[in-house]
Amino acid sequence: MLYAIIARDKPDGVDHRLAVRPTHIEHLKSVGDRIVFAGALYGEDDQPNGSLMVVEARDLAEARALAAADPFVTEGVFASYEVIRWNWAINNPTGRGQ
């Protein structure tokens, strides 16, 4: 199943995000192909202020565990995040999650 992880950074956290980013990227690489896609969200000031990731997991508990292990969570970059079941309905190139 696919799960969306939608996160928002703490206010004025760009410098902290950039400092933790190399560890975050290494973590994402270690998760491998369970990450369907991932990227930063941007505010009106064109600065990153959150993240959107879609992961493949057996269930919600596993998806939440993946999110909780992210250095952006453990190092306090995110002010909040949610993990919700997601369905890739349009332009799904691989049929993942179906």
* pLDDT tens-digit map of 51-78: 999 999 999 999 999 999 999 999 999 9
Domain that holds residue 17: 2-86
**Ramachandran quadrant class, 59 (left: phi over 0; alpha: psi -120 to 50; beta: rest):** beta
Q: Check: pTM over 0.85? Answer yes or no.
A: yes
**Is 92 a member of any domain?**
no
CA dist 28 and 38 (Å) reads: 9
88 has a pLDDT exceeding 90: no
Q: Which of 13, 31, 30 is nearest to 72 (CA)?
A: 13
pLDDT tens-place string over residues 6-51: 999 999 999 999 999 999 999 999 999 999 999 999 999 999 999 9
**Is 65 a member of any domain?**
yes
CATH number at 36 reads: 3.30.70.1060
**Is 8 a member of any domain?**
yes
